[in-house]
Amino acid sequence: MGIELVPPTERVCERCGRRDEWDNETENWVIVGKSGSATCIHEWDINGTHDPINETA
C-alpha cells in the first residue's frame, strides 16, 4: 500500500469569491471568469474538504 499526494485543482477566496483553477500547461493558478476583487488579500479555504492524501493498494 502506498500514499500519493493529490494537489487541489481549484480554489475559492472566502472573502471576495474569486475562483482559480490550476493550469497544468503553465504550472500556475489562473483566474476563472471575472470573479473577485483586485484589492483582496485572498483568504483561500486551506482547511476545507480537499483531502490531499490518496492511499493506493
1-52 pLDDT, tens digit per residue, is 688 888 888 999 999 999 999 999 999 999 999 888 888 999 987 777 777 8
Domain residue ranges in the chain: 7-38
Which residue matches cell numbers 492524501? 53
Torsion of CA 48, 34, 39, 24, to 10 degrees: 60
CB contact at 8 A, 22 and 10: yes
What distance in Å separates the CA atoms of residue 36 and residue 17, rounded to the nearest whole number? 5
CB contact at 8 A, 55 and 5: no
Q: pTM higher than 0.75 for the full model?
A: no
pLDDT score at 57:
62
Of 55 and 31, which is predicted with more confidence?
A: 31
21-32 pLDDT, tens digit per residue, is 999 999 999 999
Grid cell in block for residue 30: 489562473
